[in-house]
Amino acid sequence: MTRTWSNAPAYAEVVRIGIRSMLAYRTRFFFSALQIIVQIYVLRVVFTSVYAGQGSVDGITLRTTVVYLTLANLQGFFSSSFLDYFIRSRVREGKIASELARPVGFLGQMLALQIGSTLAMLPLLVVAFPLAWLVGGMSGPASAGYGALYAVSLALAYVIIVLLGLIMGISAFWTLETTGIAMIYSLVAQFFAGALVPLWFFPGPLRVVANLLPFQAMGFVPVSIYLGLPDGGNPLAALGLQCFWVVALYLFARWFWGRAHHRVVIQGG
């Protein structure tokens, strides 16, 4: 732990690198934020259409569903991890060597990079939030208590997202590529996080699958807590589930990185 703190200036520098590399892609980033706004708009129209004037379906009102989808997508975008793409492209180009040569641990560096990139994204929230509100819908949390639990749950969700991004990125040490895998992962994760259809509308067997995967802890759990509708009615059980995934994924990431480190291939090196 002391070693970690003595390295604090080095990590702060890596955070700055993360901020700068995200800002270098600000145009792309701006357009991907627009994609999320479009997604929220389309989902709002589709669900308004299928509700067809019914007050509530499965005890959930249209308004709740729209707020759910707006928040799930907005939150998913701003808490997204770019570590998967980052590690993949560094491995492909053989540039991962420069990260490995730095006198600070790889996992710590990746975490610092991720924090930097998230910090760089946050100011856009000033524009994205009102837009999302406008094309989708927004409401306050179910109660102040649920609001506080949401903050905790969101923090846990962020850790899970980052750990999963890291694990996916590390897999590039074996596969030496590919953007295809990264794309498949992000689509599957988005779907099972419940960003496109709230999990409460999933057909039974699919819901069972979703419950067994870590992805629901990335999106569905915090948003359902915000709305006061945690699965099973107990928000603390939902937080417990998230804690389980944090520990499990952290242990796996450490072990996985240990394996990967031993088989580094520097392309073109």
Partner 1 sequence: MATAGICWDLAKAALRAQMEYRANFLVGILAGVVWQVTGFFTIWVILSRFHSIGGWTLGEIAFLYGLRLTAHGLWVVPFARLIDMDYMVREGEFDRFLIRPLNPMLQIITSRLRIAALGDLVGGVVLLSAASAKAGVDWSPVALVYLILVLIGGALAEAALQIGCAALSFRFLDTGGLRFLIDDAFNKFGGYPLKIFSGGMQFFLTWIVPMAFVAYLPAAVLLGRTGELRVSPVVAYLAPLVGLIWFVAAWRIWSWQSRNYQSSGH
Show contacts with partner 1 in window 39-68 (CB under 8 A): 39, 42, 45-51, 57-58
In the complex, the smallest distance separating the C-beta of residue 38 from partner 1, rounded to whole angstroms, is 6
In the complex, the smallest distance separating the C-beta of residue 56 from partner 1, rounded to whole angstroms, is 13
Q: Looking at beta carbons only, is 45 or 100 nearer to partner 1? A: 45
Residues paired with residue 57 on neighbouring β-strands, in sequence order: 60
Q: Where are the beta strands (DSSP E) in the chain?
A: 56-57, 60-61
In the complex, the smallest distance separating the C-beta of residue 180 from partner 1, rounded to whole angstroms, is 4
Q: Looking at beta carbons only, is 28 or 259 nearer to partner 1? A: 28
Q: Looking at beta carbons only, is 109 or 190 nearer to partner 1? A: 190
Under 8 Å between Cβ of 37 and 73: no
Cα gap 203→219, rounded to integer Å:
18
Q: Looking at beta carbons only, is 133 or 201 nearer to partner 1? A: 201
Show contacts with partner 1 in window 153-192 (CB under 8 A): 175, 177-181, 183-184, 187-188, 190-191
In the complex, the smallest distance separating the C-beta of residue 43 from partner 1, rounded to whole angstroms, is 9
**What is 234-267 written as a DSSP string?**
-HHHHHHHHHHHHHHHHHHHHHHHHHHHTT---T
Cα gap 228→8, rounded to integer Å:
39
Q: Is 140 exposed, middle or buried (0-12, 13-18, 19+ CB in 10 A)?
A: exposed
Q: What number of chain residues touch partner 1 (CB under 8 A)? A: 37
Q: Does 24 bind partner 1 (CB under 8 A)?
A: no
Both tokens of 259, joined, read: 């394996």
In the complex, the smallest distance separating the C-beta of residue 29 from partner 1, rounded to whole angstroms, is 8
Q: Does 17 bind partner 1 (CB under 8 A)?
A: no
**Phi and psi at residue 61, to the nearest 5°:** -80, 160
Under 8 Å between Cβ of 164 and 75: no
Element (H, E) at 67: helix 62-78
- Site map for partner 1, 201-240, x if CB under 8 A? xxx--x----------------------------------
Q: Tell me the window of 38-46, 142-150, 236-244, 251-259 that interacts with partner 1 (CB under 8 A).
A: 38-46
Contacts of 69 (CB under 8 A, 6+ apart): 40, 43, 44, 47, 136, 195, 198
Of 10, 119, 155, 196, the one binding partner 1 by CB under 8 A: 196
Q: Looking at beta carbons only, is 239 or 260 nearer to partner 1? A: 260
The neighbour count for residue 46, using CB atoms within 10 Å, is 13
Rule CB under 8 A: which residues touch partner 1? 27-28, 30-32, 34-35, 38-39, 42, 45-51, 57-58, 175, 177-181, 183-184, 187-188, 190-191, 196-197, 201-203, 206
